[in-house]
Structure formats: structure tokens, C-alpha cells
Copies of this chain bind each other. A is one copy, B any other.
Amino acid sequence: MTEPLPESRPIITLTTDFGIQDYYVAAMKGVLLRHCPEANIIDITHLIPRHDILAGSIALERAIDSFDAGTIHVAVIDPGVGSARRLLIVRLKGQLILCPDNGLITWPWRRHGPGDASELTWRPAECSPTFHGRDVLAPAAANLAAGYPISPMASPITDPVLLAIAPAKTPGHAVIIHIDHFGNATTNVGPELLAELRNPDVSINGQNVGAVRRSYSDVPVGVPVALIGSSGLLEIAIREGSAAQSFSLRVGDKVHIQ
């Protein structure tokens, strides 16, 4: 008689625009634990700006990068809830993502894909028309975490909705895609593009940031710095300051690299 090896608890992450003052996040956790009591639920963030699908997509890509094969990610930024928009199950890097088909999958798909996409067609007998995160995505994710297969609840598709954003292939397409808590600005520029340029020099909003450095501490306190940040993309910062504030940076601003 053999015993199964002990398995780790399945990890389910949550990325939403629900905020943390209401019960919405806990409602999803209640459903997840009802269907998969062993789930280890990890919050990525619930402070995606309301209905900001691009910001949600950037965070979701980081979630996928931060966890290993087998992880299940649920992302709910869903201004179209109750409309005919589809729900997705996407397999990428051995991980599963469940989210509305409104562009949220874009950044994971562009950086780690293409993946295998399906439309989640399963619906519960009782389903509120205003909270599919709780009533559809959470039970589906929990059942997948508990070992239930995808195929009975979904149908393969080839055309998930993708936003126009993509990693820059030329310096002319470099833009800011995210501003973080510290006022550091992440761009869509990877090290491959920088490697093609000779001594790249970075400017933003008319401010020269200089060469690409290794670390914040390569410049004095208060001085701007460009470097490859922890997400593996070009980042513009001010050491112990806020680049976003000092240079009035916003998502979508063009970055000049020459």
C-alpha cells in the first residue's frame, strides 16, 4: 500500500480593484475556502485604481512572475460585469489565470505568452449579475485548485481581448506603464532592447536621467537614476525621492532613449 506524497496547499492569488474597506475581498475568500479548504490565498493587491484594466494587467503579470507552476491567479477588474463579456481561463508558464476577457490578460500574455486560452462557460445555479468574481470566478478557481479539470467548464478560444500595449521593440515605442508607491516609474523597455543600443541615455518629460545604472545607490540621494528594476524592465527613479512627483510622470508618458 502506498501513500500519496504530502502535497503543498494550492496557492490562489487575488488581484482586484475592490479596495480593502468593504467585504468584497472576504466574500471571494469565503467561496474559495468553501470549495477548496486547503487553499493558501495570497493577496497581490486590491488597490488597482477602479476599473483600470491596464494597471490590473501589469500587476497580474507580476503575480505570475512571482509564483511558481501550479499557482492559480484570479483577477477581477470588471466594469462590464453583467454584460456579455466573456470570462477567461488562461494557462501560462504552468499557471492558471481566471479573469474577465476585457484586456486584463494582456501584459502576462505579452511577456510570458502566448498562452492557452479558454472561455469559462460554466455558471453556478445561483449567480448574482453584479459580482461574478465571487459567484463564478472564485468557485471555478477553487475547484481547479482542488484538482477538478478545466475541460468540462470551459471551451478553447484563440482571440482573448488584448490591449494595444506591448514591450517596446524600438526606442520609439518606449512608454511608462506603471508608477509605484515610491514614485518610481516602470517602462515597457526590457534589457534586450537596451543591449541593442550603444550607451543608452534616458530622458523623460524634458528631463535627462542619464545612463542606465545598476542600483539606486549608484547616484547620490536626490538624484534621478535609470536602471533595470526588480520587474526586469527599465525604471526611472530618484534616489530616496519620487520621480513621479518631481517630473510629473504619468502612465503613458513617452520615454526618450538614445
Contact = CB atoms under 8 A, between A and B. Distances in A.
A157 interface: no
A215 B129 contact: yes
B22 A33 contact: no
Contact of A81 (B26, B131, B217): B217
Contacts of A18: 181
Contacts of A67: 30, 33-34
Given A26-B63, A181-B21, A215 B130 contact: yes
Given A81-B217, A181-B19, A26 B8 contact: no
A177 B214 CA distance: 36
Overall SS of chain A's interface:
loop
Contact of A131 (B20, B80, B131, B230): B230
Contacts of A13: 26
Nearest to A78: B216
A85 to B, nearest CB: 9
Contacts of A204: none
Given A79-B240, A240-B51, A31 B131 contact: no
A113 interface: no
B129 A214 contact: yes
B130 A230 contact: yes
A8 B38 contact: yes
B45 A26 contact: yes
B130 A216 contact: yes
A65 B131 CA distance: 15
Interface string A27-59: 101110110011010111111101100000001
B21 A230 contact: no
Contacts of A34: 67-68
A216 B85 CA distance: 13
A82 B21 contact: no
- A-B pairs, top 4 by smallest CB distance, nearest first, are A82-B215, A19-B181, A23-B62, A30-B66
